[in-house]
Structure 1
């Protein structure tokens, strides 16, 4: 782990020292809205249910609204553990979910992302907006820089990520992304592909530093 990430992680661990989870956690990046097509909500529910039934928990952005709130509620409903991480400034317009295994209220987005990266054993991006795009691409960048070796997936529901996938492949073709790094960001069209990627995880819950 680089020194900046170490510093952020150490600071957030001091602010949030109590860890209550026992399950491997899957980071779910997803929207604070439901989107216009009901398929986004339905597939989020199905994915979250499957994650819990396979014995995993999740770490996510801590809100109670949109797909974010839906996946948290579904995992809890099916017996999984849920860790939410939300910056304090977002509490003005994203209502925090107080029914979680752990809720961490942090200072800023950098701390949020550091905690989520630290606690997750794998990363999955469902449909979402700017924040979702930024989070999965940043974690892919960290993977490219050998800051972790954890599975990273785009859940391409209803072709949502078709254009992003095309752009990534274009960047490979134009010589800006090495093919081996592009290959680390796995495209999944069905939840079963995600379960296959996570069910035999041996990744430690925390980075080894």
Structure 2
């Protein structure tokens, strides 16, 4: 029997975002201004009222200059020469949005330039998305099961079946929709050009505590 999968629930993701924001003395409006995510949406995420997609979480983390792993799987280590991490079957933290279920891999390391995930595509129509998904960098997608319609901002939609892939500029808007009877499953690997610019949260809290001690 496979071990139970870790769950990065809406409540835990929201609580970590709220802890980081309040720990730095930031208001929702300030975070909204830095990330481009509406204050109302941030509030709902923090209170576990809505499910944030990877793209929304990435937008928040990029705007705040923190690793996305800090929100999905705290307690990770920073990537460095000679380090490696293995994700066993069923061990990847899982979270979901209305359009996708994300099984994240290698979250025990942050500041790495690739973010690998296995995604179950729930969306059936591009109309189910409020806006295009887009983020700096590049993305590789490989279909594991079913068929996927990939909509991109500047090209006609393309259908990929099992074993087929696409590599593209992820700053171009994109959406994945399942067209098979069962929800399709894909591997998504995102290249993050900002990986080494992010703040290590352990360092952040350590420095914050040091400042408090100096003030005392």
Higher RCO by CA contacts (8 Å cutoff, separation 6 or greater): 1
Q: Which has the higher strand share?
A: 2
Q: Which has the higher helix share?
A: 1
When normalised by structure 2's length, the TM-score is 0.28
When normalised by structure 1's length, the TM-score is 0.29
